[in-house]
Amino acid sequence: MVNENVAVEPTREEGYIMPIAGATVTQCRIDFAFTLIFRAANDDIYELRIQCPFTFEIDGNAGELDPGNWSDPCEMGLALKIFNQVVDSAAATPKGLLAVRLRTGGWLMIHPDAEHLYEAWVFSGGERTLVVCNPDGELAIWT
C-alpha cells in the first residue's frame, strides 16, 4: 500500500508534534475505538484513542480499518502488530491528519472524520497533555 501522506512532519507552528518519539507501545485496546498506550523513556504514559478509519503498514502488512464499524473485532488482528513497537515520530497537521512512524519503518495514518461528525482521535498523557482532532479536523490543544 503506497501512501504519500506518510511524509507529513509538521513543525510546532503548523500542527502538533507528539512527545512520544522513542516511546514503546505497551498496550492495544479494542472497543468502539482502537487505543494505543505508550510508555516513554522517562516512564510517562500516553494514550492515543483512534475513533475513525485509519490506514497502517506494520511489519509488511498494510490495511485500512474502521474501529467504529466492524462486525468482528478480529478484523483488528493485523493492527495489533504495533504492540511493543517503538515510535520514531508522531505529528499532526493543523487540519487533523495524524502520522505515527515506527522505528521499524511501519506507520499509522489517521485522517479527520470525512463526515465531520466525530473526533477522529484523542491524544493524552504525560504531565498535562491533551490534543483532540475535532470533527472539523481542527486541533484543540491543551498542554
CA distance 121 to 123: 7
Q: What is the pTM of this model?
A: 0.89
* pLDDT, average across residues 112-138: 93
Confirm if 79 and 30 have CB atoms less than 8 A apart.
Answer: no
| pLDDT value, residue 13 | 56
pLDDT digits (tens, 9 = 90+) for 41-53: 999 999 999 999 9
pLDDT digits (tens, 9 = 90+) for 39-85: 999 999 999 999 999 999 998 889 999 987 777 777 788 889 999 99
CA distance 116 to 19: 27
Q: How many residues does the chain have?
A: 143
CA distance 63 to 94: 25
